[in-house]
Amino acid sequence: MDRKNYPIGAENYTLLQEIGHGSSSTVFRATCEPLLETVAIKVLDFEKNGLDHTAQEAQTMILVDHPNLQMAHCSFVADHYLWIVMPFMAAGSCLHIMKTAFPQGYKEAVIATILRGILRGLEYMHHHGDIHRDVKAGNILVDSNGAITLSDFGVSASLYYGGDRHSGSSFRGTPCWMAPEVIMEQNYGYNFKADIWSFGITALELAHGHAPFSESPPSAVLLMTLQRASPGLDQKGDEKFSKSFREMIAMCLMKDPRERPSAQRLLKHSFFKKARSNDYIVRTIVKGLPTILYQATEIVIREEQSTSNISAWNFDVEDLKTRASQLPRGEASTSGKDQVVVQQRERCEGITEIRSASEEQNTRTYSAKRSAH
Ligand SMILES: Nc1ncnc2c1ncn2[C@@H]1O[C@H](COP(=O)(O)OP(=O)(O)OP(=O)(O)O)[C@@H](O)[C@H]1O
């Protein structure tokens, strides 16, 4: 891969436009002046995110070397901020593109092409002992050549750091995409198979235009993930999708993580034979996007945020877990239980956070398992 020398220091970059922001950062389109090149710069606030956590995200991005993982050119400190300089992914995230141009979801060959890229990236991460922990359409980026990358390693768990990226004893994720064992914090299963669950939910998100339960508040989503049968391609209109797509999703969404395939095994599934080239992605989804995609999608995102007020979990996780642990495993809920669930007021959309005292223990268990191999 071409590794040019990108200059260190804010004075070498001109910030042009805000193109995205998450719970921990703001991302800008920018020009690298000495190289006359357009780049994306993620600016993270140390005070908000913690120095170690912030630096580790940058280090992971600089270390990764896979075409389907978002790499960083360089990173440096400016004032109280860490700047991570990355290749600019001109078409934005799959979520942005979907909201702008494909609100009902993508067609199957597009989904197969996107997902094969992401699965290759996950196979690389898992092989190197990393769990991504936040796989979703909003973290899949597309460039003007149709290249697909998985981004945002802000919450990944890495064995480069002894398996514990988050000494603050917290883990983050987004409820609709969270695996049952992550919600329940079952030590035996909180490993790379959690990414396979999120991958299956992402497949449904790309097919329907939204993740399952996305209209429900976060605590309801978590309970429904635990209580109900796994979601699948069984909605009205899903007849257009193939049997192999349906099967592939069902394999990812096995409640017991031990029954889910590894990324390596899943890549051999017949569904991925439908995947096409980067050019196909350019022809079908990149070409024809509004040139002001970012402005348009910014408006969509801002509108969602103004109606959802979702900066953090605002319910009792321990209470939720207690209630969930009293439920029979794998049993679908009754409508009565569902009514109780939907009475809660929290919203699902957006980035949320669980603080958990046992996360450290979980990542250590994972680390011990890996080193035993
Ligand atoms: N390299 C890039 N090129 C173009 N757009 C990007 C790039 N990196 C990020 N973005 C945009 O910025 C948004 C936020 O980026 P990212 O998810 O990395 O931030 P975050 O603060 O870690 O978010 P989260 O709240 O999920 O933790 C993305 O959804 C995407 O739209």
Parallel, antiparallel, or unpaired: how do β-strands 25-32 and 170-173 relate?
unpaired
Q: How far is the CA of 23 from the centre of ligand 1 (A)?
A: 10
pLDDT recorded at residue 158:
55
Token pair, residue 74, equals 């360089």
268 annotated binding-site participant: no
pLDDT recorded at residue 172:
54
338 is catalytic: no
Q: How far is the CA of 184 from the centre of ligand 1 (A)?
A: 28
pLDDT recorded at residue 53:
73
Best mutation site among 31, 93, 95 for ligand 1, i.e. most ligand atoms within 8 A of its Cβ? 93
CA dist list (Å): 349 to 136, 209, 312, 342: 12, 13, 11, 15
Q: How far is the CA of 40 from the centre of ligand 1 (A)?
A: 9
> CA-CA-CA-CA torsion for 340, 346, 348, 351, nearest 10 degrees?
-150
Strands laid side by side in the 140-142 sheet = 92-93, 140-142, 148-150
Residue 157 is given by DSSP the state: E
| Other residues' Cβ atoms within 10 Å of the Cβ of residue 12 | 17
Region at 237 (left for phi over 0; alpha for psi -120 to 50; beta for the rest): left
Nearest CA to ligand 1 atom 25: 22
Nearest atom (ligand 1) to Cα of 90: 4
Q: Tokens 């960083």 label which residue?
A: 72
CA dist list (Å): 247 to 78, 208, 210, 232, 303: 49, 16, 20, 9, 36
Residue from 2, 52, 79, 134 carrying the catalytic annotation: 134
pLDDT recorded at residue 288:
81
State ipTM. Answer: 0.96
pLDDT recorded at residue 164:
42
Residue 304 phi/psi, 5° resolution? Answer: -60, -45
Token pair, residue 368, equals 């011990």
pLDDT recorded at residue 183:
85
Nearest atom (ligand 1) to Cα of 138: 29
Low-confidence ranges of the chain (pLDDT < 50): 159-171, 187-189, 292, 294-315, 328-373
Token pair, residue 118, equals 């992401």
Nearest CA to ligand 1 atom 17: 152
Q: What is the pTM assigned to this prediction?
A: 0.80
Residue 15 CA neighbour count, 13 Å, CB half: 16
Amino acid present at 311: S
Question: Quick one: which of 24, 61, 370 has its CA closest to 168?
Answer: 24
Nearest atom (ligand 1) to Cα of 86: 1
Ligand 1 environment, Cβ below 6 A: 19-25, 27, 40, 42, 70, 86-89, 92-93, 96, 138-139, 141, 151-152, 154, 351
